[in-house]
Chain A
Amino acid sequence: MGAPLLARDSEPTIFEFSVPGRHAASFRTTNLPSWTAEELVPEGFLQSDPVALPEVSERDLVAHFTRLTHRQYSVDLGAYPLGSCTMKYNPKAADAGASLPGFTQVHPAAPVNCAQGWLELLVELEETLCAITGMHAATLQPAAGAAGELTGLLLMHAYHDANGESDRRRRVIIPDSAHGTNPASVTLSGYEVVTVGTNARGGVDLDALRGLLDDDVAGMMLTNPSTLGLFEEDIVEIAEAVHNVGGLLYYDGANLNAILGIVRPGDMGFDIVHLNVHKTFATPHGGGGPGAGPVAVSARLAPFLPGPRPTRDGAGYELTTPERSIGRVHSWHGNAVVLLRAWMYLRLNGGDGLKRASEIAVLNANWFNERVRGAYDIAFDRPVMHECVVSAKSLHDEVGLSALDVAKRLMELGFHPPTVYFPLIVEEALMVEPTETESPQTLSALADAFLQVARESREAGNADEAKAAPRTTPVRRVDDVRAARKLVVTFDQRRPD
Chain B
Amino acid sequence: MSAPFVAHTDAEIAEMLAFLGLEDLDGLFKEIPESLRLAGGLDLPPAMSEPDVAWRLDELASRNKPCGRDLVCFAGAGSYDHEIPAVVKAIASRSEFVTAYTPYQPEVSQGVLQAIFEYQTMIARLSGLEVANGSLYDGAAALVEAVNLAAVATGHRRVLCSEGVNPHWRQQLKTFSRGSGNEIETVPLSGGVTSWDEVDDEGPFGAVVVAAPNFVGCLEDIARARVVADGFGARLVVCFDPVSAGLLRSPGSLGADLVVGEGQPFGMAMGFGGPYLGLFACRLADVRRLPGRIVGETLDVEGRHAYVMTLRAREQDIRRERASSNVCTNQTLMAVTAAVQLSWLGPKGLREMALGCARATRYTREALCSIDGVQLLTSAPVLREFAVRTPVAPETLVERLVEDGYLAGVPIREGFEGTAYDGGLLVAATERRTRAEIDGYAAAFEKAIR
Contact = CB atoms under 8 A, between A and B. Distances in A.
A154 B250 CA distance: 36
Interface residues of A, number: 206
Q: Across the A-B interface, give the 3 residue pairs with the lowest CB-CB distance, nearest first.
A: A332-B273, A102-B61, A72-B111
Given A101-B68, A331-B140, A40 B79 contact: no
Interface in A142-170: 143-147, 149-150, 153-154, 157-158
Interface string B423-438: 0000000011111101
Most buried by B among A89, A102, A153, A285: A102
Given A181-B328, A439-B8, A27 B383 contact: no
Contacts of B140: 328, 330-331
Contacts of A107: 67, 73, 75, 79, 81, 270, 272, 407
Interface in B316-351: 316-323, 325-334, 336, 339-340, 342-351
A335 B264 CA distance: 12
A21 B178 CA distance: 51
Given A180-B320, A288-B102, A348-B4, A96 B54 contact: yes
B66 A103 contact: yes
Q: Is the interface of A mostly helix, strand, loop or mixed?
A: loop
Interface in A321-365: 326-338, 340, 344, 346-357, 359-360, 362-363
Interface stretch (A6-14, A295-303, A393-401): A6-14
Given A40-B362, A68-B115, A46 B247 contact: yes
Contacts of B56: 347
B38 A491 contact: no
Most buried by B among A40, A150, A186, A407: A40
B419 interface: no
A211 B196 CA distance: 53
Interface string A440-484: 100000000000000000000000000000100111111110111
Given A25-B348, A45-B248, A477-B301, 11 more contacts: A23-B349, A51-B125, A51-B350, A75-B99, A106-B271, A121-B60, A128-B44, A338-B274, A351-B41, A473-B108, A483-B296
A23 B348 contact: yes
Interface string A87-115: 11111010111011111111111110111
B274 A290 contact: yes
A432 to B, nearest CB: 14
A363 B28 contact: yes
Given A27-B356, A89-B5, A68 B114 contact: yes
Contact of A102 (B48, B58, B311, B349): B58
A185 B326 contact: yes
Contact of B47 (A146, A179, A348): A348
B389 to A, nearest CB: 18
Contacts of A24: 87, 343-346, 349
B99 A478 contact: no
Interface in B281-334: 287, 293-302, 304-308, 310-312, 315-323, 325-334
A474 B304 CA distance: 10
A263 B38 contact: yes
Contact of B137 (A143, A439, A486): A143
Contacts of A492: 121, 124-125, 130
Contacts of B134: 288
Interface in A170-197: 179-181, 183-191, 193
B331 A475 contact: no
A411 B345 contact: no
Contact of A105 (B67, B108, B332): B67
Interface in B352-382: 352-353, 355-356, 358-360, 362-363, 381
Contacts of A30: 356, 359-360, 431, 433-435
B305 A10 contact: yes
B111 A332 contact: no
A288 B94 CA distance: 15
A115 to B, nearest CB: 6
Contacts of A349: 3-5, 47
A286 interface: yes
B172 A288 contact: no
Contacts of B5: 88-89, 91, 282, 348-349, 357, 436-437
A87 to B, nearest CB: 6
Contacts of B249: 45-48
Most buried by A among B109, B131, B246: B109
Given A289-B331, A416-B108, A32 B359 contact: yes
Contacts of A263: 29, 32, 36-38
B191 interface: no
A44 to B, nearest CB: 8
B110 A476 contact: no
Contacts of B103: 287-288
Given A97-B54, A327-B171, A439-B8, A475 B106 contact: yes
15 contacts: A13-B114, A25-B352, A30-B435, A32-B438, A75-B95, A77-B96, A108-B79, A109-B410, A110-B75, A179-B317, A183-B321, A261-B41, A262-B38, A289-B333, A357-B6
Contacts of B328: 144-146, 180-181
B356 A337 contact: no
B351 A50 contact: yes
Interface in B83-109: 83, 85, 87, 89-91, 93-109
Given A50-B350, A121-B60, A416-B108, A41 B101 contact: no
A54 B348 CA distance: 10
Interface string A370-385: 1000000000001100
Interface stretch (B13-21, B197-205, B225-233): B13-21
B139 interface: yes
B175 A326 contact: yes
Contacts of B71: 110, 114
A111 B402 contact: yes
Contacts of A478: 106-107, 298-301, 306-308
B186 interface: no
B53 interface: yes
Contacts of B20: 363, 366-367, 370
B120 A490 contact: yes
A23 B325 contact: no
Nearest to B317: A180
Contact of A350 (B46, B91, B339): B46
Contact of A180 (B57, B112, B316): B316
B387 to A, nearest CB: 14
A486 B310 CA distance: 11
B320 to A, nearest CB: 4
B54 A62 contact: no
Contacts of B325: 184, 188
A320 interface: no
A491 B121 contact: yes
Nearest to B432: A28
B398 interface: yes
